[in-house]
Amino acid sequence: MLLPSSKGLAQEVLPTPVTPIPSASIPTDGLFFADIVVRGQPVFQIGSVSDVSATQRAQIVNRRIASILAQPQAGRTVTVVPDAARGIATLQLNNRVLMTVTQQDVQDFNLPVETLAQQWADQLNRAFEQPPLAIDVGQRLYSTLRQFQRDIIDNLPSFLGALLALVVTLLLAISVRRLTLLGAQHWEVDHNSKVLVSRLGYGGVWVVGAIVALGVLGLDFATLLGTLGLTSVALGFGLRDIISNYFSGIILLASRPFRLGDQIAIKEFEGTVTQIQLRATTIKTYDGRVVYIPNQEVFTATIVNNTICTFRRNSIMVGIDYNTDITRAKQIINDAIIKVEGVESDPKPEILLRELAPSTVNIEVRCWVNSRRLPFLETTSLIAQAIKEALQQAGIEMPTDIYTVRLRNLPTISDNHRVNSEL
């Protein structure tokens, strides 16, 4: 609001209130008091008048002060010009009205109009003076601390709620980490993998707790979750292979298709499991090589576990002459393999006629032996040797030109030349 000046300059025009302004006439969309600012520092506060809110009134005054400070420093002295007839006073600088002190200001601050106007003029004059660097820094620091103190007092319930959420998060995170370490004791993985799983649980609880704490402080949950979702998508896209390996490792640890020491076959690799990590599974092959297979490939591949059961069935094919008594030959073979150390008596060995070849009658010998590779091969070798010796002692002819002993269910079926060399 502007008052016409006798000097014809644009001035702040305000009505002359002679009675207290009803509360219904005070604007409700602005502050009741707002800061007058000089060089970014609040100097004093003014209230609302009539239909002008305190914020709007302070913006008008601050804009005039800023325009004065933008000009070269010369004669910056604020004077008080009282208007006794209207019961107001104006603060002027070089014949330019900065603001008007009204009766509403008198009621707000409970001071006479001239006293209040002079007090504000003195504060503006002190603020207009260029302070030394140390004083300016001190004033700014004091103002910042004061504003920080006000914010803390205003937001004290939110701070206490966020602090309580963080304390609860800390207790839950510690509990989850300890429970994870305790539950991972039966996992057949290295210690570093157990610690990593516990840290993942610990960090996950902290992420949820931080979101809750920020929500208590007043931040929007939807914005937080959206930001977290976008971040997760970006990280997941960039580290999809690594993350896939770790998640596959966790699933493998939970499902446990094999354990440490098991002899397994994955794709073209076969050997003994020596280490199960979250990222990869380590296999030591039978020829002494160490293979690290990413858990993503292990999870999607067909796994053959040769030692998940203590015993497995072996099969040997023996060819005899057509003139041989088959029943007698079967009995001789059965008596021979029962005496071999390592052959299980229950289930009993099975002697079956399987094939009438062009030159031989092929008999399949089935028996159960230790499923570990070395005992399996050793027992297979002993069985073949015992069968040959028993048939020869009984005078049963095994044609030398077509003689064959075929072994089945070997650990590596596609590598028979290596098996024969080991036999």
User: pLDDT value at position 120?
Assistant: 92
Q: Does the pLDDT value for residue 253 go beyond 70?
A: yes
d(CA 152, CA 142): 15
Q: Which is more confident, 231 or 57?
A: 57
d(CA 48, CA 58): 9
User: pLDDT value at position 236?
Assistant: 62
Q: Does the pLDDT value for residue 164 go beyond 80?
A: yes
Residues 355-386 pLDDT 10s: 898 888 999 999 999 989 899 999 999 999 99
Identify the CA nearest to 412 among candidates 404, 420, 401, 400: 420
User: pLDDT value at position 422?
Assistant: 34
Tokens of 213: 């704490």
Residues 113-145 pLDDT 10s: 999 999 998 988 888 876 656 556 776 777 777
Q: Does the pLDDT value for residue 19 go beyond 60?
A: no
CB atoms within 10 A of CB 17: 18
How far, CA to CA in Å, does 143 sit from each of 5, 39, 139, 153, 194?
35, 12, 6, 15, 51
d(CA 108, CA 30): 16
- Residue type (1 letter), 79: T
Is 367 within 8 Å of 383 (Cβ atoms)?
yes
Q: Does the pLDDT value for residue 415 go beyond 60?
A: no
d(CA 293, CA 230): 31
Q: Identify the DSSP state of 325.
A: -
Q: Identify the DSSP state of 24.
A: G
Residues 265-318 pLDDT 10s: 998 899 999 988 878 889 999 999 999 999 888 888 889 999 888 899 989 999
Pairing of strands 88-93, 79-83: antiparallel
User: pLDDT value at position 408?
Assistant: 47
- Residue type (1 letter), 295: N
First to last CA, the chain: 109
Q: In a 3-state reduction of DSSP, which class is residue 322?
A: coil
| DSSP letters for 124-151 | HHHHHS---HHHHHHHHHHHHHHHHHHH
User: pLDDT value at position 188?
Assistant: 60
| DSSP letters for 348-376 | PPEEEEEEE-SS-EEEEEEEEEE-SHHHH
On average, the pLDDT of the chain sits at 78
Cis (ω within 30 of 0) for the bond into 347?
A: yes
d(CA 18, CA 167): 57
Q: In a 3-state reduction of DSSP, which class is residue 264?
A: strand
- H or E element at residue 308: none
Residues 55-95 pLDDT 10s: 899 999 989 888 887 777 666 788 999 988 888 999 998 88
Cα 227 to its chain centre, rounded Å, is 13
| Lookup result for tokens 């499991």 | 273
Is 99 within 8 Å of 124 (Cβ atoms)?
no
| Lookup result for tokens 């440490």 | 260
User: pLDDT value at position 143?
Assistant: 73
Least confident of 78-92, 156-170, 336-350, 392-406: 392-406
β partners of residue 319:
362
How wide is the angle at C-alpha 144 spanned by C-alphas 120 and 46, nearest 5°?
25
Q: At 28, is the pLDDT very low, low, confident or very high (cuts 50, 70, 90)?
A: very low
Q: Which is more confident, 13 or 405?
A: 405
Question: pTM higher than 0.85, yes or no?
Answer: no
d(CA 110, CA 114): 12
How wide is the angle at C-alpha 204 spanned by C-alphas 202 and 205, nearest 5°?
70
Q: Which of 10-19, 31-40, 45-54 has the highest mean pLDDT?
A: 45-54
Share of the chain above pLDDT 90, in %: 22
Tokens of 316: 């040997």
Q: Does the pLDDT value for residue 17 go beyond 70?
A: no
Q: What is the 3-state secondary structure (H, E, C) of 159-190?
A: HHHHHHHHHHHHHHHHHHHHHHHHHHHHCCCC
Is 367 within 8 Å of 376 (Cβ atoms)?
no
d(CA 80, CA 149): 34
User: pLDDT value at position 263?
Assistant: 92
User: pLDDT value at position 369?
Assistant: 92
How wide is the angle at C-alpha 60 spanned by C-alphas 59 and 65, nearest 5°?
95
Residues 316-338 pLDDT 10s: 999 988 888 899 999 999 999 99
d(CA 42, CA 24): 29
